[in-house]
A and B are shown apart, each in its own frame.
Chain A
């Protein structure tokens, strides 16, 4: 990560380039917008400078998450929503996430195939994104990409997740409105009352409405979800969602106008206190993500300092972890030694993490005494 340690003049150049790109993107230049998204996806220094400029401008778009199991029709439904939005003259951006190979890091991003009809329309911008090892159905840069689209003036940003199973609920923390897409006959009532994906839905869509059983599935979902809602609400548990259940046939467009109307209804209702709660949660998630990144970066820089000072060999093991942890000048060596101590079961991971945290914060506080699991 040598390029993130830019000298002062480099930082000025980066922020200058960020300003130029942002100004052009906000003025409607699609090439600059695409470049910004690439920077955001690659988390370059330019991305941070750009996001800092754009964040105050963003906050007007409706961010809609579309999630559900593979093959339920998410991409086709997103394409149908684009058509509906464009009919109303509303500019729409799409972030479509597909999985990365855990083996090679490569990916096939195929969501665009269903959305290619709008290439001549400047009011539509579709960006595919590989998850790059991020779990939860999104890429780590998805929220930031949505913020860029938001600032660039798109009225609606549709986030299409990786095909999800039962518990990839991260999209709900990123989107204003979460649409969970199911296909008919995907399970019985028991599937509907399990914890997870359906719980975070603001709107549940049973797609492929032309298939037998679609309306029966929708009825079952409606019954189980609304029952769960009222039962929990009467017990005063934390506010459960009360999702609308709709049937669509994305391939023909049937029911899609109704879905958009439901999304818009949710948008206006989300301006109340429940919506502000959701926004607070999202802010928390964003700040935490940056915090974790910053922490990673500092740990890596300590390790890099160690590599430079001792040629990557490190010091001989055996030094007391608590001593080295408090010795700021030997920070790099200490970090390496902590890891080696954990690897050899001399030190438990909790103590090592505490010692590392003490190292990062200059040993001020928050660090427990490292405890050796063995002598």
Chain B
């Protein structure tokens, strides 16, 4: 999407003109059981006007990709605190592409070392949000970068 198109979309949101809120899937892939952050983000994005689908804990990459497809979300947010991000995230990005969801914005959050960020971006992640990110920052990023819709 061009910067100009993004600006148009953003203006429409700012003006409250867009019929549909941005739809976000918040997923907890892998085996870690720490979903406080994911739930806080889900609730915070709700307050920012997003429609947030929450998958629950311990999702396989296939479950995440299927949920993203069935829900036709604009954004997939992956929360991982287990250290398995280098395995799970590229797999999910590949599955999304396989399913024809290459226009979906993928963002990751949790405990992800800076050194891993370039490789994650290489695999298709648009942004990595670490501890200390405010919900408003995440919301602004998603508004600016989520795909426009028909």
A367 CB contacts on chain B under 8 angstroms: none
Of residues 112 to 128 in A, which have CB atoms within 8 Å of B's CB atoms? 112-114, 116, 119-120, 125-128
Contact with B along A145-185 (1 / 0, CB 8 A): 00000000000000000000000000000000000000000
Shortest Cβ distance from B44 into chain A, in angstroms? 9
Q: Majority SS of interface residues in chain A? A: mixed
Q: Does A342 contact B (CB under 8 A)?
A: no
A34, A42, A101, A116: the one contacting B20 at CB < 8 Å is A42
Q: Does B37 contact A (CB under 8 A)?
A: no
Q: Does A107 contact B (CB under 8 A)?
A: yes
B43, B52, B63, B72: the one contacting A109 at CB < 8 Å is B52
The answer to whether A38 and B72 have CB atoms under 8 Å apart is yes
Given A30-B69, A120-B62, check contact A106 B54 (CB 8 Å): no
In the complex, the chain A residue whose C-beta lies closest to that of B44 is A106
The answer to whether A101 and B47 have CB atoms under 8 Å apart is yes
Given A34-B72, A42-B19, check contact A119 B52 (CB 8 Å): no
Contact with A along B45-57 (1 / 0, CB 8 A): 1111111111110
In the bound complex, how far is the Cα of B46 from the Cα of A107, in angstroms?
5
B19, B48, B52, B56: the one contacting A116 at CB < 8 Å is B56
B43, B49, B71: the one contacting A34 at CB < 8 Å is B71
Shortest Cβ distance from B140 into chain A, in angstroms? 15
In the bound complex, how far is the Cα of B20 from the Cα of A119, in angstroms?
26
The answer to whether B150 and A39 have CB atoms under 8 Å apart is yes
Shortest Cβ distance from A91 into chain B, in angstroms? 14
The answer to whether B20 and A108 have CB atoms under 8 Å apart is no
Q: Does A216 contact B (CB under 8 A)?
A: no
In the complex, the chain A residue whose C-beta lies closest to that of B26 is A108
In the bound complex, how far is the Cα of B69 from the Cα of A38, in angstroms?
11
The answer to whether B72 and A37 have CB atoms under 8 Å apart is yes
Shortest Cβ distance from B79 into chain A, in angstroms? 14
The answer to whether B20 and A41 have CB atoms under 8 Å apart is yes
Given A43-B19, A44-B150, A101-B46, check contact A107 B66 (CB 8 Å): no
Given A30-B70, A112-B55, A116-B63, check contact A104 B47 (CB 8 Å): yes
In the bound complex, how far is the Cα of B62 from the Cα of A108, in angstroms?
22
Contact with A along B76-117 (1 / 0, CB 8 A): 000000000000000000000001110000000000000000
Contact with B along A32-66 (1 / 0, CB 8 A): 00110111011110100000000000000000000
Shortest Cβ distance from B133 into chain A, in angstroms? 18
Q: Does B126 contact A (CB under 8 A)?
A: no
In the complex, the chain A residue whose C-beta lies closest to that of B52 is A108
The answer to whether A127 and B71 have CB atoms under 8 Å apart is yes
B45, B60, B63, B99: the one contacting A106 at CB < 8 Å is B45
In the bound complex, how far is the Cα of B71 from the Cα of A172, in angstroms?
25
Q: Does A105 contact B (CB under 8 A)?
A: yes
Report the contact-size class of chain A (Cβ under 8 Å from the partner).
Answer: 20 to 34
Given A119-B63, A128-B71, check contact A108 B21 (CB 8 Å): no
B62 CB contacts on chain A under 8 angstroms: 119-120
In the complex, the chain A residue whose C-beta lies closest to that of B66 is A119
The answer to whether B99 and A109 have CB atoms under 8 Å apart is no
The answer to whether B54 and A113 have CB atoms under 8 Å apart is yes
A345 CB contacts on chain B under 8 angstroms: none
The answer to whether B48 and A113 have CB atoms under 8 Å apart is no
Shortest Cβ distance from A39 into chain B, in angstroms? 7
B21, B56, B67, B101: the one contacting A130 at CB < 8 Å is B21
Q: Does B36 contact A (CB under 8 A)?
A: no
Q: Does A110 contact B (CB under 8 A)?
A: yes
Q: Does B42 contact A (CB under 8 A)?
A: yes
B51 CB contacts on chain A under 8 angstroms: 100, 106-107, 109, 130
In the bound complex, how far is the Cα of B46 from the Cα of A130, in angstroms?
11
Q: A41-B20, A104-B48 are in contact. List 13 more A-B contacts (CB 8 A).
A: A42-B20, A43-B19, A106-B21, A106-B45, A106-B49, A106-B50, A107-B52, A110-B53, A112-B67, A116-B59, A119-B66, A119-B67, A130-B21
Question: Shortest 8 CB-CB distances between A and B: which pairs?
Answer: A113-B56, A119-B66, A106-B46, A34-B72, A119-B63, A104-B49, A38-B72, A109-B53
Residues of A within 8 A of B (CB): 30-31, 34-35, 37-39, 41-44, 46, 100-101, 104-110, 112-114, 116, 119-120, 125-128, 130
Can you identify 25 A-B contacts, CB atoms within 8 angstroms? A31-B101, A34-B70, A34-B71, A42-B19, A46-B150, A100-B51, A101-B47, A104-B47, A105-B49, A106-B46, A106-B48, A106-B49, A106-B52, A107-B52, A108-B42, A108-B43, A108-B46, A112-B55, A114-B56, A116-B55, A116-B63, A120-B66, A126-B70, A127-B71, A130-B51
Residues of B within 8 A of A (CB): 19-21, 42-43, 45-56, 59-60, 62-63, 66-67, 69-72, 99-101, 149-150
